[in-house]
Amino acid sequence: MISQASEALLGSIYGEDNDQIIEVVVKEEENRFEIRLLNYGEGLGWYVQKTLPIDSNQAEALVKILSKTNNPTEKKLIRHDDISTFGKVIRLPLA
């Protein structure tokens, strides 16, 4: 028998056109979070387009990064050369 982990919806954010929702969910028994992108389809209703699982360390780091966006002095433009790369990476031209 497959047991489902209990989860709790922490919040929802509607997109500008109200046809997308971002949900933040905590998976209590697995001690992790999920960020879900839901889209609305005619005849389908709401469906999950993408799911991004993150652990508690990643969630904490994400909160720190997002909190910096409120402080203009903390903002930093990411330059192409500043990105560390591991393994084979194909660099595409920036638009």
Give pLDDT, residue 69.
67
Give pLDDT, residue 3.
53
Query: What residue spans define the domains of the chain?
Result: 7-82
Our CA dihedral for 47, 49, 55, 59, rounded to 10 degrees, sits at -90
pTM attached to this predicted model = 0.64
pLDDT by residue for the chain (95 residues), tens digit each?
A: 555 668 999 999 999 888 999 999 999 888 899 999 999 999 999 999 999 999 989 999 998 888 876 665 555 555 555 555 556 667 777 75
- Reduced to 3 states (helix: H, G, I; strand: E, B; else coil), residue 59 is helix
